[in-house]
Amino acid sequence: MRPDPAGVDSDAHADAHADSHANADADADADAVDAAAVQQAAARIAGHVRRTPLWRLRGAELGLGCAEVWLKLEHLQRGGSFKARGMFNALLARPAPPAGVLIASGGNAGIAAATAAQALGLACEVYVPTLTGAAKRAALAALGARVVVGGADYAQALAACTERQQGSGALMLHAYDQPDVVAGAGTLALEIEADSGTGLPDRLLASVGGGGLVAGLAAWVAGRGRVEALEPPGAPTLHAARAAGRPVDVGVSGLAADALGARRIGRIAWPICRRWVAASHLVPEPAIRAAQQQLWQVLRLAVEPAAALPLAALAAGVVVPAAHERVALVLCGANFDPSTLA
């Protein structure tokens, strides 16, 4: 390779130039996800998604020392997860594509996209990794989606989906890295604030995969409360990015990998999280499983492991709120095999 006149390798210079453009695009997309965008999303998807219940409990009812625990029951959402908000918002924000939609997903985003596509009369093709469970694959098939196994993990499924989209005429949705998808997720926080009767909680806890959920929540809260991110050790996208000071690839493994299976934090989520997310925590897998069982045995709430991270963080002492605090937990999904709760 020949050095350029400035003495910098020309390929490296080109890569750095491309990276700077990518970062600028990500910052611009992140800036587009603000409270106004969340309000617009809420108006757009009203009547298409459910306004899920907010259940307020005394902390003592769950063996916790905080004053109140608010459970946002988003596992009751259409398609079984919060993802329906972003998918409906993305499809309603533009003219319907005649060729339908494509998406790569570990399961929940695909189910949400298929749910939205079916409701709007569109064809849907979903690329899943081999680790996607049978329950999620069956849900996709029941919604009329064409299911394609696109590789061993989410990143490989995304690559296969991207290749398929080229020249297809279909709209490619992203599980977490599009402004409309992130703004749609933020409507959760808008509802919590509106429905609580007392405004925002002191803390709002949510699990992280690619970061679309926590970024949407943080964009709405915008420093008016404490948003904290939770991840299992086997999929620490945000935690690793915070440690490195930039998004980095991580390995993906463990019991929540099909729902929290991104290799790195989303390009839109990263600048939002860097600005507005107060902390990220790793939650041990035994605590996640115990919290999932507790939600079922004590409250009869059947949720997938990814949805149990917020309670697990409190029960295991990973997050320790003060005695007077009100803590909101997002129960983000329920697409799993319920026989595992026996």
Q: How many CB atoms lie within 10 A of CB 13?
A: 13
Q: How many CA atoms lie within 13 A of 247 on its CB side?
A: 19
Task: Give the alpha-carbon dihedral of 265, 267, 269, 272, to 10 degrees.
Answer: 130
- Grouping H, G, I as helix, E, B as strand and the rest as coil, residue 11 is helix
pLDDT value at residue 66 = 98
DSSP secondary structure of 265-320: --TTHHHHHHHHEEEEEE--HHHHHHHHHHHHHHH-----HHHHHHHHHHHTTSS-
Instruction: With residue 179 as reference, give the H or E element that holds it.
Output: helix 179-196
DSSP secondary structure of 87-132: HHHHHHTSPPPTT-EEEE-SSHHHHHHHHHHHHTT--EEEEE-TTS
Between CA 226 and CA 281 the distance in angstroms is: 13
- Exposure string of 158-192, with b = 16+ CB inside 10 Å and e = fewer, is bebbeebbeeeebbbbbbbbbbbbbbbbbbbbbbb
pLDDT value at residue 225 = 96
pLDDT value at residue 103 = 94
pLDDT value at residue 16 = 41
What are the DSSP E strand ranges found in 96-237?
A: 101-104, 124-128, 146-149, 171-173, 203-207, 226-231
pLDDT value at residue 79 = 93
pLDDT value at residue 253 = 75
Beta strand 226-231 with 146-149 is unpaired
Average pLDDT per run of 10 along the chain, which is 342 residues long? 36 43 67 95 97 98 97 96 97 91 89 96 93 83 91 86 90 94 98 97 96 97 97 93 94 67 89 97 96 96 95 98 98 88 76
Architecture of domain 32-82+179-341: 3-Layer(aba) Sandwich (3.40)
What are the tokens at 320? 């320790």
Q: Which of 49, 169, 157, 162 is nearest to 107 (CA)?
A: 157
pLDDT value at residue 23 = 62
Could you tell me the residue ranges of all domains in the chain? 32-82+179-341, 83-173
Tell me the CATH number of domain 83-173, given options 3.40.50.2300, 3.90.400.10, 3.40.50.300, 3.40.50.1100. Answer: 3.40.50.1100
Query: Strand order in 54-58's β-sheet?
Result: 54-58, 68-72, 326-330, 203-207, 226-231, 277-282
Q: Is the pTM of this model over 0.85?
A: yes
Q: Which of 182, 181, 331, 211 is nearest to 274 (CA)?
A: 211
Between CA 140 and CA 145 the distance in angstroms is: 6
